[in-house]
Every structure is written in structure tokens, then in C-alpha cells.
Chain A
Amino acid sequence: MSTVLETPSDRLLAAVRQLLTDKGVVTREEIAERIRTTDGASPAQGARMVARAWVDPAYRARMLADGAKAADELGIPMRGMPPLGVLEDTAGEHNVVVCTLCSCYPRAVLGYPPFWFKSAAYRARAVRDPRGLLLEFGTALPAWVKLRVVDSTADYRWMVLPLRPAGTEGWSEERLAAIVREGDMIGVTFPKLP
């Protein structure tokens, strides 16, 4: 509908909100509550899973077998969420996640997807030039580490379980979780010591 394409977006949203609430499809309270709930999800949740996996090999195994169950174990709300796949980095292989078709992202454990993840540049380059792409994030992957790119095309959502950095021996889970960032769980960066 050409009107839809031409109309400024904020007016379109106002009209759609009005119509949906008038017709009892949604209420303003539900919209506000939904925003609050979604805002509550953040990379800190995924970071807790990573930190736990770093210190607890049994949790790591459970996380790799069923990511959603492992998230649920830590109190991260997963009811109604898509299956969560966890990609384990090793010394010889590093994972990177992309959704070339749209922007599928493990929102339940990482929150809203970052702007760059949704961009044409990221979606196009990740599958064909992941090494060059990682350089944009300041990540220079050694030539001998295999780069495994996972294109998220279907029902699963994917997060990376990165390698634990050296120099963190004896750290508490909380301290470990604090160094795991959003990009580390998508694979564009590696966790760094502060």
C-alpha cells in the first residue's frame, strides 16, 4: 500500500497503536509492560551462562546440549522462546553468528540485537569475508584458527561460548561474567581482561 510506504513512521505507529487498542487487540498497559520486560533482557544474562560454563564443566556440557534449559537453570526466562544453540569455541576453531536473511538473534539471553548485527554490511560480509569483518571490530584472528560462520536461518537462535582468557585463574563467576560482552557472544570480539 503506497500510503503505508510514504507515511512518516511515527505517524504510522501512532495510527496503528490507536487502531489496535481501539479494537481491543492490545492495551497500552500491555505495550508498556512488554517494553519493560524486553528491556530487562541484556547481554549480562548470556555472560552469566558463559561464566558458569567456564568454571563448571558439567554446566558447560548441559549448555551445549540444550541452551534454553541451561539458561532457565540460571533463572533466565525462556518460556515460549525459540531453541537456543550454543557454539563452543576451541583453540582451533572460532564461531561467528549472523542472520543474512534478517536479524535472528538470541534475544532471550542477549537482549535487543545491536545496530551492526542488523546492517546490510554485516549480513553480507559475515558469510563471505568474516576475517575482514572481524577486523572492523578490532579482532585479528590468527591465520591458524579456523573461522566457522553460522547463518541463523531457521528456528534456532545461536550464541557463542568463547574461550576463557588467560590470566583469569581463580576468578569468581561474577568477576568472569563482568568481562563477557555482547560482541563476545556473537563472535566478533574475544573477552578481554580490563
Chain B
Amino acid sequence: MSALLPAGTSVRVRDDWPETRGPCHIRTPHYLRGAHGVVEKHLGSFPNPEDLAFARPAAVLNLYHVRFSPQAIWPDAQGDVLVVELYETWLEAA
């Protein structure tokens, strides 16, 4: 696991598409790939579901609640704040 990201840290979700490389199980929604957000809270640490889904040994990863603007994703969005649980392996400094 990496060092904890404090609340308020600006992050970018990796613009990666494992779906194009073969069977996978991804819990980072498509609509967040490449999106910019702000860390709200560290939620704890949990085994990586991407590996659990294939009964592979799973590294324990930090999980964060990260806040996004829905209008930055969909120009016609009608909500105000979108908060999603994301594993540290999907987050880059921004």
C-alpha cells in the first residue's frame, strides 16, 4: 500500500481500460476514467477485488471516497456532487 492521501488531495483517475486486454473485473466505473476529483476520506484498506474475482492472491489496497463534478463528465448532468469509492491503484496525483 502507498502512503495515505489526505482529504482534499486532488487526484486523477487513471485513463486505463483493462477491458481491452482480456477478462477482468473492474470496480472503477467507465465514466470516471481520466476524471479529476478530490479525496474526501480514507475508508480503510481491503483486498483488491480485481484479483478476488479470479480467486488470485489479492493485495490489500487503500480505499478512498473521492468527489467528482458530474457536469465535468456529462455536460447535461443534473446532480451536484458525485462521490465514488476508488482503490488507490486507480488514483494519480493531479
Check if A132 is an interface residue, CB within 8 A of chain B: yes
Check if A91 is an interface residue, CB within 8 A of chain B: no
CB contacts (< 8 Å) of B5 on chain A: these are none
Contact B83 A154 (CB under 8 A): no
Scoring B residues 23 to 58 as 1 if CB is less than 8 Å from chain A, else 0, what string do you get? 000011101000000000001101001000000000
- Chain A contact-residue range equals 20 to 34
Check if A103 is an interface residue, CB within 8 A of chain B: no
Contact B29 A148 (CB under 8 A): no
Per DSSP, chain B at the interface is mixed
Contact A146 B80 (CB under 8 A): yes
Tally chain B residues at the interface, Cβ within 8 Å.
24
Which A residues, 90 to 133, have Cβ-Cβ distances below 8 Å to chain B? 93, 100-101, 127-132
CB contacts (< 8 Å) of B77 on chain A: these are 127-129
Contact B81 A156 (CB under 8 A): no
Contact A148 B81 (CB under 8 A): yes
Residue in A130, A151, A154 whose CB lies within 8 Å of B87:
A154
Residue in A127, A131, A147, A153 whose CB lies within 8 Å of B85:
A153
CB contacts (< 8 Å) of B83 on chain A: these are 148-151
CB contacts (< 8 Å) of B85 on chain A: these are 151-156
Give the distance in Å from the alpha carbon of A93 to the alpha carbon of B40 in the complex: 16
Contact B44 A149 (CB under 8 A): no
Contact A149 B63 (CB under 8 A): no
Smallest beta-carbon distance B5→chain A, Å: 15
Contact A155 B78 (CB under 8 A): no
**Interface on B for A, CB 8 Å cutoff?**
27-29, 31, 43-44, 46, 49, 63, 70, 73-74, 76-87
